Amino acid sequence: ILPFVPVNQILLLLLVLTVCVILYNKVHQIPSALQNETVDLESPEETEEEIPVVVCAAAGRMGATVAAISSIYSNTEANVLFYIVGLKTTIPHIRKWIENSKLKEIKFKVVEFNPMVLKGKIRQDASRPELLQPLNFVRFYLPLLIQKHEKVIYLDDDIIVQGDIQELYDTKLAPGHAAAFSDDCDLPSTHEIVRSVGMQNTYMGFLDYRKQAIRDLGISPSTCSFNPGVIVANMTEWKHQRITKQLEKWMQRNVEENLYSSTLGGGVATSPMLIVFHGKYSAINPMWHIRHLGWSPDTRYSEHFLQEAKLLHWNGRYKPWDYPSVHTDLWENWFIPDPSGKFKLTRPDS
């Protein structure tokens, strides 16, 4: 015979069991909740977006590279990572220069460019031998040199950045466009300079329209050219469209057919890009690429105009580290002397 258990004791027992079940469930939910919280606590803080900037360090021009980097670094709070591309022989010099100057705080990677990739793709041109330097073609091979970034800025070494590089990086690229460039007809203020030095700003100045291969492109010779000394590039589109392969194809055709090397523009690195990117590029804000400062040792822009500019480019023969040249004061503001003493400015009194 079972002992008699009062109803109130049974109810009390059920209540205790219910409380125990609730507590058990809560205890077994805690690890899951803690785990979620731990993931949140341990997940790295959202890091500031890295802005990759590619600039070359060529022999005899490293002062230009240093001044360009100095101007970018000094005028932004952005998280810039500099990719400094050089040949095997020049890399130790530029690394030492950076590490032994106030630029030692920058984030940078040194990348070696192998000129063997250009074998059979460059036609010798005695009129402008400096344009055949291997590093002039680094911009063709951006995805091979820069692996982990979706968007990249490429800059020639003969530039100075006066604005915040974040603005240039924020340039919008239209869907399907692998790059953004500055159109050579984009700024009325530069037209007078272009006319005064007899410089070309159309495809006629870069491509030889006497050649059938050029006429077959169907590009009007009066089409405005663009300048690839400043590029904002989308690496995904670049690889998808096989831009590097297309550029190499036109380099090889030029070796065989002389399509552009001896024409007025002398643009051995510009001409293939004009062909491959025709009608398929986005625009850079004109004030982010004020050009032609190196086209004449006499012709000058107004100081007010240059103060407003975000980026200055001494494209042409007359470089600001040489003599003669114009607006050298704006360039020298950012120049850092070579600790090794190998690179020296050329000045009238030197």
Q: Using the predicted structure, report yes or no on whether residue 268 has a pLDDT greater than 80.
A: yes
Is pTM beyond 0.75 here?
yes
- The single residue listed with the structure tokens 């400015």 is 345
> In the predicted model, is pLDDT for residue 36 greater than 80?
no
**What gap in Å lies between CA 180 and CA 280, rounded to an integer?**
9
Q: How many domains does the chain have?
A: 1
**Residue 286 belongs to a domain:** yes
Q: What is the mean pLDDT of residues 305-324?
A: 95
| 66 located within any domain | yes
Using CA atoms, how far apart are residues 82 and 156, in angstroms rounded to an integer? 13
pLDDT digits (tens, 9 = 90+) for 101-126: 999 999 999 999 999 999 999 877 65
Q: Is residue 209 part of a domain?
A: yes
Is 346 within a domain?
no
102-105 contacts at long range (C-beta below 8 A, 24 or more positions apart):
102/70, 102/336, 103/66, 103/69, 103/70, 103/73, 103/336
pLDDT bracket for residue 27 (50, 70, 90)? very low
105 C-beta neighbours (distance < 10 Å), count: 8
- What pLDDT, on the 0 to 100 scale, is given for residue 109? 97
Tens of pLDDT, residues 44-80: 444 579 999 999 999 999 999 999 999 999 999 999 9
User: 321 lies in which domain range?
Assistant: 51-333
**Position 39 in a domain:** no
More confident position, 127 or 14: 14
Q: What is the pLDDT of residues 219-264, one digit of tens each?
A: 999 999 999 999 999 999 999 999 999 999 999 999 999 998 665 5
User: In whole angstroms, what is the distance from residue 184 CA to residue 289 CA?
Assistant: 10
* pLDDT band of 81, cuts 50, 70, 90: very high
327: domain CATH number is 3.90.550.10
Query: What amino acid is encoded at 2 in this protein?
Result: L
Question: ∠51-56-58 over CA atoms, to 5°?
Answer: 165
Higher pLDDT, 218 or 23: 218
Query: What SS3 string covers the chain?
Result: CCCCCCHHHHHHHHHHHHHHHHHHHHHHHHHHHHHHHHHHHHCCCCCCCEEEEEEEECCCCHHHHHHHHHHHHHCCCCEEEEEEEECCCCHHHHHHHHHCCHHHHCEEEEEECCHHHHCCCCCCCCCCHHHHCHHHHHHHHHHHHCCCCCEEEEECCCEEECCCHHHHHCCCCCCCCCEEEEECCCCHHHHHHHHHCCCCCEHHHCCCCCCHHHHCCCCCCCCECEEEEEEEEEHHHHHHCCHHHHHHHHHHHHHHHCCCCCCCCCCCCHHHHHHHCCCCCEECCHHHCECCCCCCCCCCCCHHHHHHCCEEECCCCCCCCCCCCCCHHHHHCCCCCCCCCCCCCCCCCC
**Residue 213 within a domain:** yes
Report the 3 state secondary structure along 124-171.
Answer: CCCCCHHHHCHHHHHHHHHHHHCCCCCEEEEECCCEEECCCHHHHHCC
Residue 22: pLDDT band (50, 70, 90) is low
Answer whether residue 139 shows pLDDT above 70. yes
Residue 111 lies in a domain: yes
Q: Rounded CA gap, 214 and 200, in Å?
A: 17
Residue 271 within a domain: yes
- Asked if pLDDT for residue 281 goes beyond 60, the answer is yes
